[in-house]
Structure 1
Amino acid sequence: MQRIPNGVKLKRDGSFSAPEIEAEHKAFGSFIKTGSEVEIKALSTDEGPAGGYITHTNMATTINQKIFDQSPIRRLARVVPMDNGDAWEEPLDFSDLGATWASERQARTETTGSQLKMLTIPLHEVYAHQSVTQKLLDLSFVNIGSWVEGKISDKFGRTEGLAYNSGDGVKKPRGFMDYAAASVATADDTRAWGVLQNVISGSAASVADVDGQADGIKNLFWSLRAPYRANATWIMSSATANAVDKLKDANKDYIWRPGMTAGAPPSMLGRPVEFDENMPAPGAGLFPIAFGDFQKAYTILDWQAIKTLRDPYTDKPNVIFYAYRRTGGDVANFEAVKLLKCSAS
C-alpha cells in the first residue's frame, strides 16, 4: 500500500504528482549520499517528509538476491569473544592421573601425574573492498549502502565457514577437515594427540559397506565415546545425504529419519544431521561425513564485530565500502570428532 503524503493528491492513475516525486528523491537521496547518522535518526515512515516518500511508484526498494549456502560450524562450535590480543591460549588436560591399591602398611610410591598441553589459536583478518559510484548512490531508490554491507556480511560468513571446515591455517583459520589426510584408524587411547581418527565405510568409493548397508556409518557412530556422542552432530553435504538416506542396516531398516516437525533437522541413529556443502561428496579415499561434539571439538575466536568504513574521498567519484573482521579457529579436542573414510580397508 502506498502512503499518500499530507498535502499531496493522487492523479487518476494512482501515481504521485511531480512535486512529491521530487521531494522523495531529495529526502532519501540526501541520506544515502551523506551517510549521516543524524538523517538516519530523522527518517521514519509515519510522515511523508521523514520517510514516507521512500517508495517510488512501480519501483522496487529491495534487490532480489541469490541465496548462498552457509556453513553450520559456527552454530555448533564453541565461540570465544575477544577484545584484545592477537591469539588465544588455553591449557588442555587430556591425560589421566595414576591410582593404585595398597595394603595398610605398604609404602606408597608416586603415581603418574597429569600432562598439560597448550592450545594456541591466532587471529586472522578477512576483508572486503567494494566501490560504488556516487551517481548510483544519488539516483538509486534502493539503499545501496545497506545492500553492499549485507553482501559483505554474507560473504564473510561463507568465507569463514569454508575456513572452519578446511582452511589450512595460513592467514586463515585451520579447519577440522584439514586434519583428514593425516587421520588414522587408531583409537583414542593409543593415538597421538593432534591426529583425528577415521573409520572406513567398508567400500572403496561409497558411504555404504561392500553389501550396500550402513555398517561403516554405525561403526563411526560407536567410535565416538559416550560423553561426546550425547551431544554429537553429523556433518555432511547434500550430495552425501542423498546417498545416506537410502541406506539400511542389516535388519533392512533405514538409518535416516526426516525431521518430525517443520524446521527440525533430519537425524541419523538418533543424532541430528547438519548440511555443510564444503564437505566432499563420496569418493575413493575421501572423507564425506564427520560426526562429533563440535562444541568440544572446535573453537572459534571472534574479535569484536565486522567493522565497516565508508570512504567517499579516496577514489572520487566512487564511495568505498571497506569492511574487515578478525577471527580464528582450530580443533581443540581431537577425540570429540571422527571422520568416515570411503575405503574398503
Structure 2
Amino acid sequence: MNESIGAPETKAHGAEIEAGHHRFMNIFETFREANDERLAQLERRMSADVVTEEKVDRLTRALDDQQRRMERLTLKSTRPQIGRDERTEAALPSEHKSAFEAYARAGDETAMRQLEAKAMSQGTGADGGFLVPEETETEIGRRLIAISPVRSVATIRTVSAAVLKKPFAISGAQTGWVGETQIRPETAAPKLAELTFATMELYAMPAATNALLDDAAVDLDQWIGEEVEQAFAAQESRAFVGGEGVNKPRGFMTYPIVDETVWNWGSVGALKTGADGGFAPGKAADRLIDLVYALKAGYRQNASFMMNRRTQAMVRKLKDADGNYLWQPPTMAGSRASLMGFPLVEAEDMPDADAKANAIVFADFKRFYLVVDRQGVRVLRDPYSAKPYVLFYTTKRVGGGVQDFDAGKVMTFSV
C-alpha cells in the first residue's frame, strides 16, 4: 500500500505543535515565578518593582505570541493539502462537483444549468451565480467552526428558509401530585415566546489566476474554503458578539444587560467586579465564583468563559485565597486554557476590561446562543472586473441571536 503524500507533512505539523506547547508551558512557568515575586513585593511594600512589572508584562506578551503560533499551527494541521493525493483521486467526484469545476475553471455553465433543470429548481439568484456542491459547502463550514470562537461553542442550525422562528417556553405547565383515583385539576398552559432569527448575506471575493484554475491538481473546494475562511470568520465573530441585528446577526452583547437581581426574560443578567476597570482588591476569586454560581446547575456543567486576549492577560495573574492560580494553561496541544476549572474561549471581539465594560461572559453557549446557517453557498464567477484575475463572488446567509436568556451571565467591570 502506498503511503499518502501528506503523511510526512502531517507528522511534521504534529511534532511542531507538541514543541510549541512545550515552549508555551516553559514560558508559563517563568511567568508564574515572576508574577509570584510581583505579588510578594505588593504584599511587602504595597508596590511592585518596576523591573519585575516589566518582566511580567514581557512574559505575558510572550505567552500571547506563543499561543497565537500554536493556534496557527493547529489550524494549519487541520487543513487538507490543496494538491490531490491518491485517496482523493480514488474518490469519484459527484455530478454537481464535476459541473461546478467546469464552471469555476472555464466558465462553462452548461452542466450547472442542466442540474437545475433536473432538480426543477432555480440555482441562480438575483445577482447570478450558482450553488456550490455539497463538498464545497461542507469544507467552508468545517473551516469556520475551526477558527470562529463563538461558532465553535454555539448551537448551529441549518435551515432552508430565510428566517427561523423558534417557540420557547418561558414558564412550564402547572404540575402537582394526585392520588390514583382523585380528579386531575386542569393545568395552566405554558407561556411561550417566539424567537425569530433572520439570515443575512455574508460575502467574500477571492481572486484566482488562470494558471491556478488550469492546474488540475488544485482542489477548488479546498481552495475556495481556505480563501474565504478568514473573511467569513472575522465578520461572523464580530457580529455574533456585537452585531446590532441590522443586515447581520444580533450579537449577545447587544441585548439589554441588567443587574442579576432584577433579571427577566429578554435580558442578560450581570454581576459586578466591585471596581471600575478591574476587580476589587482581594475579591477577584470571590466575584468569579459568584458569576459561576449565578448560572443554574443544568447550564453550569457545560459552561465556558469567554473574553478577549487582553482580559485574559489580566485574569492570568490572579490567585485564589490559597495561592493557586485561577487561570491554567491548556493541558495538551490544541486544547483550551481554563479558568476556575471551566474552559476559556478567547474572542477578540469581546470588550476590553475598561470601566463599566461587560468584558467576561460565562455561559452554556450551546443553549445560550444560536447560529443559523441558510442551506447553500453561492458562487458567481467574474473574469472581467479585475483582469487578469478571475474573481469568485462567494456568498452565504447567516443569522444568530440569544435563544435562552437564562443560560448566560455577564461580568461588568464596575463598582
The two structures have a TM-score, normalised by structure 2, of 0.59
Matched, 1:176 2:252: yes
Cα–Cα, structure 1 residues 87 and 289, in superposed 2: closer, same or farther, change >3 Å?
same
Matches within 5 A, 1:105-184: 110-129=186-205, 150-179=226-255, 182-184=256-258
Cα separation, 2, equivalents of 1:138 and 1:169: 37
Contact preservation (8 Å) 1:234, 1:290 = yes
152-161 vs 209-218, which moves further: 209-218
User: Quick one: which of 87, 91, 98 aligns to 2:163?
Assistant: 87
- Offset, 1:160: 0.9
1:326 aligns to what? Answer: 397
223-232 vs 122-131, which moves further: 122-131
Cα separation, 2, equivalents of 1:234 and 1:93: 26
Cα–Cα, structure 1 residues 191 and 97, in superposed 2: closer, same or farther, change >3 Å?
farther
- Offset, 1:37: 9.8
2:150 aligns to what? Answer: 73
Unaligned runs of 5+ in 2: 1-100, 109-145
Cα separation, 2, equivalents of 1:325 and 1:34: 17
Cα separation, 2, equivalents of 1:174 and 1:225: 24
Contact preservation (8 Å) 2:273, 2:284 = no
Cα separation, 1, equivalents of 2:156 and 2:336: 22
Matched, 1:199 2:271: yes
Cα separation, 2, equivalents of 1:185 and 1:256: 26
Which structure: larger Rg?
1
Cα–Cα, structure 1 residues 155 and 335, in superposed 2: closer, same or farther, change >3 Å?
same
Number of residues of Structure 1 aligned to a counterpart in Structure 2: 276
Cα separation, 2, equivalents of 1:320 and 1:225: 50
Deviation string, structure 1 residues 253-282 (Cα, Å, up to 9, x no partner): 322222222322111222111111111121
Matched, 1:239 2:313: no
Identity of aligned residues (%): 33
Cα–Cα, structure 1 residues 258 and 33, in superposed 2: closer, same or farther, change >3 Å?
same
User: Quick one: which of 253, 265, 282 aligns to 1:211?
Assistant: 282
Contact preservation (8 Å) 2:107, 2:381 = no
Cα separation, 2, equivalents of 1:103 and 1:144: 68
The two structures have a TM-score, normalised by structure 1, of 0.70
> Which amino acid is the alignment partner of residue 189 of structure 2?
G
> Which amino acid is the alignment partner of residue 124 of structure 1?
M
- Offset, 1:311: 2.3
Cα–Cα, structure 1 residues 215 and 132, in superposed 2: closer, same or farther, change >3 Å?
same
1:221 aligns to what? Answer: 292
Cα separation, 1, equivalents of 2:149 and 2:219: 28
2:125 aligns to what? Answer: none
Contact preservation (8 Å) 2:204, 2:395 = yes
- Offset, 1:165: 1.2
1:27 aligns to what? Answer: none
